[in-house]
Amino acid sequence: MPKQTFFNLADEKRTIIVNTAIDEFAEYGFEAASINRIVANSGIAKGSFYQYFEDKLDVFRFLIDLLAQEKTAFFKDKRPPGTNMDTFQYYRWMIKTGMEFNSTNPRLVQAISRVLLTEGMFYGKDFETYRQQSTRGLMAMIQQAIERGEIDPSIDVDLAIMIMETWNNAISSYFLNEGMKQKDIMKWVRSAKTQEKIDKLLYVMEYGLRKTESEYTSTS
């Protein structure tokens, strides 16, 4: 996490540094990101950078935490459209609402996605904690779906988690990349055409996991 000296900065200066770091990771990824460019583009001395952060990884971890805070605030007042939704309906709502959140701060999401997903660092040791949080949430969702009879009980739970995790990441990356080409990304995400595309992608995942009618019959 940043040092207290960073939080002591004036809001405007702190915002410039944050936005410069976001642009750097979005443009170059993590490995090619340059502290020299960050300090030059934000107008601070290199020595000052190390008064604020330990290193490049420290900056990126801060951006992940910033994204998590914004996502928590965004979802705070969001409610599913129905109380009788099954697991897949709820998951679909979560994905679509997540896409809407991504459109509120696409550059930050793009920076995080490029590093974690495109460079594969989501699966590395440096970010293991973040993946474990995601995995626990998906595991609870799958186990609940099995208890409700919505998912084939013989399915490999770890494999199901991997499928949902990979699908979620792929959908997010695809729509973020497409959305960044739009003049109004929020309007594009909410459009009927985009919503239909999300439904079609989720349909493929859902019916690879969902318990079929014949399985309902054979186990009833």
> Mind listing the pLDDT tens digit for each residue in 105-136?
889 998 998 888 877 777 677 778 878 888 88
State both tokens at 29.
Answer: 């990824």
210 forms beta bridges with: 151
Is residue 216's pLDDT more than 70? no
**0.85 cut: is pTM over it?**
no
How does pLDDT run across 98-109, given as a tens digit for each residue? 888 988 888 999
DSSP conformation letters of 59-127 = HHHHHHHHHHHHHHHHHTT---S-SS--HHHHHHHHHHHHHHHHTTSHHHHHHHHIIIIIS-GGGSGGG
In this predicted model, what pLDDT tens digit does every residue of 145-155 receive, in sequence order? 888 888 888 88
The yes-or-no verdict on residue 218 having pLDDT over 60 is: no
What is the per-residue pLDDT for 123?
67
User: Architecture of 4-62 per CATH?
Assistant: Orthogonal Bundle (1.10)
- Tokens for 135? 């995995």
DSSP characters over 150-212: -B-TTS-HHHHHHHHHHHHHHHHHHHHHHHTTSSSHHHHHHSHHHHHHHHHHHHHHHHHHBPP
Q: What is the average pLDDT score of the chain?
A: 86
Using CA atoms, how far apart are residues 106 and 187, in angstroms rounded to an integer?
Answer: 13
**Secondary structure (3-state) at 215:** helix
What digits encode the pLDDT tens for the residues 18-53?
Answer: 999 999 999 999 999 999 999 999 999 999 999 999
Amino acid identity at 30 = F
CA gap 214, 209 in Å, rounded: 14
CA distances from 169 to 55, 99, 113, 148 (A): 27, 11, 8, 26
78-219: what fold?
Tetracycline Repressor; domain 2 (1.10.357)
Q: How far apart are CA 186 and CA 196, in angstroms?
A: 15
**Every domain of the chain and the residues it spans:** 4-62, 78-219
